[in-house]
Structure 1
Amino acid sequence: MPVTKTTAALALLAASTMALTSCASSKRDAGATKSGSGASNSNATLNFGAAGAPATLDPYYASDGETFRVSRQIFEGLVGFKPGTAEVAPRLATSWTPSADGKTWTFKLKTGVKFTDGTPFNADAVCKNFKRMDSQNKAGQTASEYWLTNMGAYNGGAGDLYQGCTAKDASTAIIKIARPTSKFPALLGLPAFSMQSPTAMDKYDANGIKAQGQGFVYPAYANSHPTGTGPMMFQSYDKTNKTVTLVRNDNYTGDDKATVKKIVFSIIPDETARKQALSSGQIDGYDLPNPVDWPSLKKDDNLEIRPAFNILYLGLNAKVDPNLKDVRVRQALYYAINRDQLVKSQLPAGASVATQFMPNTVAGYNKSLTPYKYDPAKAKSLLKAAGKSNLKLTFWYPTEVTRPYMPAPDKIFNAIKSDWAAVGVQVTPKPMPWAGGYVTGTQNGNAGAYLMGWTGDYNTPDNFLGSFFSDPKGQMTVGAYPWGAKLHTALSDADSIVDEAKRATAYEDLNKQIMQDLPGLPISSSPPAIVFSKKVTGVTPSPLTDEHLWTAKVSK
């Protein structure tokens, strides 16, 4: 490819993105350094305690971490991430090259790879996957949040970043996009964009999703037949015993073949119960241990603390609650929360108060913003000026789950509720199971005020701001922003800037505007931990929660 100013700039962009991702990297080398008590057992089963049930087994329709944890063991994308970092690395594609204008990407693919049902992986399979992702019914378009937030639209509609896929030959796929973007090809490493068997998707009606109430009825493929190219294969999901079982893919062609025969995810929503299960040997590890247990777990087990690469926020939807349309009300709610105390009392050591909707390691973070301070007197004054001194809010929070950014949802909810009560805000609690209506309910815009968060998928500002605000009809923009529709365009324009410094400046300006209008309330960033028993080594902690559990070594 001839070297032009544009291609040179794109190359610089790719290099700078890798440099940025290094900021989020774990400081540990690939593979755990702590040793087990004996030789590893290649026929071992790794029992892992999951904090919640997967919402679906089809990652394309998922947005929850528990689905993605399972999916990451079964599926592969065209690209992935270097273990322990947010750095893009080859996976099913061995290399990729952008055109001079950054709109056409040529992917060279691995050869000799097959899906676990025997279907060949090739460029034709890649294009069938993208055609499937871009062609969804109404329910599918609602469920596939990651496609919408990253691609913007479906079926070539206005704002659709994806413009088509061509199989040049069996090992070369060409993907066209509408504009240059800092997130390409990193977004293709997301579990939602994993390559899935076209044969299995056709056979088990993968696109036959239907809406039902606040959730969805998933087709047979998403319930029982997820089929990828990864090191593990799906065996069963026993909803009675609350376990998901994966088995080793002995035909896996990748370098990092599975070192365990099985992975069993035991769904144990209560963190104390997970800790007890680890102590008794029922499970070999679990994610998101309670911060108060870190010292004892570090002493008795292999506990690893990941870098903080997330945001906990309080979403506000003015379409549901018209009281929230007044910026004075939104400001009052923010001033009323003692976030310093919340971070100290409810979050782990190393957590910090958020001043905007991205961690401070991401380019575009605005260091000059004046943060909202805890000021209950000002909160009361603003509510009085808005005529809302007796404000009543229905406040959603999740149950049966622990998230990296939200280790104890009920305690965080109660702390905020108490702060709001002190300034006269009356809260009606609405607890709801994470996988039993909470995720889909908040995504569908049914909650006025709710707790939610985000762990970065890759290190670009668009992955945070774009994920929250790119949809002009999104949860936190409807009715709250006088310029909500314009924000969608502004985010797209900023993401398309190739020059790193100019792009960062554009996002700094956007962060300033967002925090002036307050469509939601960023709360904190937290370093999450993951823990294994002493007999387990070989799993590298990831800032993206992208742990390769199949590389675990379980001592005999």
Structure 2
Amino acid sequence: MQTYPCLTNQFTRRGFCLSTLVLAVLFQGSSAIADAQDVLRIPYVADIGTFDPDNGFETGAMSAIDNVYEGLVEYEPGSTKIVGLLAKSWEISDDGLTYTFHLADGVKFHDGTPFNAAAVVKSFERRRDHGLILSYFLANVKDMRTPDDSTVVLTLGHPQPSFLDALSSPWGPKIISQVALAEHDNGDFATTWLNEHAVGTGPFKLAEFKRGQRYVLERNDDYWGNKPFFRQIQISVVPDISQQILQLQAGAIDAVPINYPFAQLTSLPGGLEITAAPSMIPYYLFVKPNSPLDDPEVRKAVLTAINPALWVKDAFGEFASPSRSVYPNVMLDPVNVIRFPTDFEVAKAAIAKHGPVNLVIGLHSAAPSYGRIADLMIAQLALIGVKAKAYVLPSGAAYNLKNDPNPPDLLLTIAGPDAAHPENQAKVFFTKSAPLNYFGRVLSEADAIVDQAGQLTDVKKRDALYERAGQLYFDAGIVIPLVDVNDVVVHAKGLKDLGLRPVYPPGNIDFATVRWGP
């Protein structure tokens, strides 16, 4: 039996804001300088689809949801280390099937009802048993028991060394008030009500939900843990990044969490600064079957031209580095780094030998980084005689490429996992049944190695197998890793302890840790 003590995951939340009269005047909805000190104003690029922690794959709003709701465990800010949250400690049985969680004391839901083991089981059953979008996180949980109010015992159907990572994921299962679930269950397991309402245990409460306009979180002054610095979080929906930048420069908001143009990061206006952190934001190319890259010589020539070491600085400056494997650099440090060929003369000769080679690159998003990467690769490909063009796919089209009669040769996309275990990368993007195996390609030999790796608890042996499988996917021309990009937030000077986590989607500031400071 292995015992895992709770590890603290809170920053010391002290600090002060040197507010000026100008900031106070510009601050929307505030009439005093003091109000500006304890209100954080954050824009979202996209609207919140749902606030239900079980029934939506939100990305931009994860920090809001995960500061209202809490799970048993989480990733420590700035790392992939798993620490206790609502579970103060846990044990795993020697056979890897039974997880016993000992719950934190003195926790209450926002509605004042007590948090206990029954609430954990009720919340987990809601997610697992009712066909909700994120039910797969608990698919392997076959039994749940509550020996007492402060203990939860979960029994798995088969050993799953990645299980704690699943629980720690930003999309992992959260605990919802049993009373709220019962009161608002109109035969839909409260899904309609929870789209725009919330009752969790977190450091913030959802106070206002105006779809498409404004969301407000209020500090939970009865929070069981360390109190947040900010009294209120005001979230506005501002899709236009140029408008966000103007608002930040005018002092009307406090940060631009994502999509600040990389080319402008070296010449920020006074009063602004950058917080950057490692992140699992890898850009990949997925290759369709029966493309020109099926020919090994053509593929080698193309790899020579698109070698990310040639263009990563032009695209992202100091905020990205070439991917070292088909897994995010933060997730796995490979013994043998994936290598791109470098001989341009050989590449040009190969293309000349094979006649005209034309490639079409589909871009998963219209975000500026996609177009910048595509333009740089197209220019590089032209140097060896390959004609390439790129276009932005319609919204959602990337998920249906295997059924598209005329798909692009290459899909450029971010392939970020939903948890930090390599299984969450391989079985989401590469294996036969992976939900985001975009072109439906299969390499049974590599899949078998992934299955073998998924049973191991020895991290070194596990990672060696995942690395081997990843090399096979790359060598077969199924996936081409390009660059890993940092999480970059541009904000007003003095904003500290943003609590960025590698597994979170970019720009998700932790409202529980962020503060003003000197």
CA contact (8 A) 1:122 1:170 kept: yes
Shift of 1:536: 3.6
Shift of 1:263: 0.8
CA contact (8 A) 2:120 2:175 kept: yes
> CA, structure 1 residues 258+229, in 2 after alignment: closer, same or farther (shift >3 Å)?
same
Q: Secondary structure at the match of 1:196?
A: coil
> CA, structure 1 residues 267+503, in 2 after alignment: closer, same or farther (shift >3 Å)?
same
Match in the other structure for 2:114? 120
**In structure 1, what residue type is equivalent to 2:18?**
S
Pick the structure with greater CA Rg: 2
CA contact (8 A) 2:324 2:333 kept: no
* 1:269 aligned onto 2:250: no
Q: 1:171 aligns with which of 150, 162, 171?
A: 150
* 1:429 aligned onto 2:391: yes
Could you give the per-residue CA deviations for residues 119-156 of structure 1, whole angstroms, max 9, x where no partner exists?
4322222122222222243xx4xx43xx54x56xx4xx
| Whole-angstrom distance in 1 between the partners of 2:349 and 2:114 | 64
* 1:69 aligned onto 2:63: yes
Shift of 1:75: 1.2
Q: 1:225 aligns with which of 197, 205, 209?
A: 197
> CA, structure 1 residues 369+414, in 2 after alignment: closer, same or farther (shift >3 Å)?
closer
Q: 1:351 aligns with which of 308, 314, 320?
A: 320
| Whole-angstrom distance in 1 between the partners of 2:463 and 2:307 | 30
CA contact (8 A) 2:312 2:483 kept: yes
> CA, structure 1 residues 375+339, in 2 after alignment: closer, same or farther (shift >3 Å)?
farther
CA contact (8 A) 1:304 1:530 kept: yes
* 1:467 aligned onto 2:428: yes
Count of aligned residue pairs for this structure pair: 494
Normalising by structure 2, we get a TM-score of 0.80
| Whole-angstrom distance in 1 between the partners of 2:348 and 2:198 | 50
> CA, structure 1 residues 539+369, in 2 after alignment: closer, same or farther (shift >3 Å)?
closer
| Whole-angstrom distance in 1 between the partners of 2:256 and 2:247 | 9
- Percent identity (aligned): 23
State which drifts further: 536-545 or 91-100: 536-545
State which drifts further: 504-513 or 302-311: 302-311
Match in the other structure for 2:339? 370
Normalising by structure 1, we get a TM-score of 0.76
| Whole-angstrom distance in 1 between the partners of 2:374 and 2:194 | 32
| Whole-angstrom distance in 2 between the partners of 1:44 and 1:35 | 9
Match in the other structure for 1:247? 218
CA contact (8 A) 1:358 1:464 kept: yes
CA contact (8 A) 1:335 1:373 kept: yes
CA contact (8 A) 1:317 1:445 kept: no
CA contact (8 A) 1:311 1:525 kept: yes
**In structure 2, what residue type is equivalent to 1:553?**
R
| Whole-angstrom distance in 2 between the partners of 1:460 and 1:383 | 43
Q: 2:277 aligns with which of 288, 306, 309?
A: 306
Consecutive unaligned residues of structure 1, counting only runs of 5 or more, are 2-6, 19-24, 155-160, 210-217, 402-406
Match in the other structure for 1:236? 208
| Whole-angstrom distance in 1 between the partners of 2:336 and 2:75 | 28
Q: Which has the higher contact order (CA 8 A, sep 6+)?
A: 1
Shift of 1:457: 5.6
Match in the other structure for 2:96? 102
| Whole-angstrom distance in 2 between the partners of 1:440 and 1:69 | 25
Shift of 1:67: 2.8
| Whole-angstrom distance in 2 between the partners of 1:163 and 1:481 | 30
Q: Secondary structure at the match of 2:163?
A: coil
**In structure 2, what residue type is equivalent to 1:131?**
E
> CA, structure 1 residues 518+306, in 2 after alignment: closer, same or farther (shift >3 Å)?
same
Match in the other structure for 1:516? 475
* 1:498 aligned onto 2:457: yes
Shift of 1:87: 1.9
User: Could you say which structure has the higher helix fraction?
Assistant: 1
Q: 1:397 aligns with which of 364, 376, 385?
A: 364
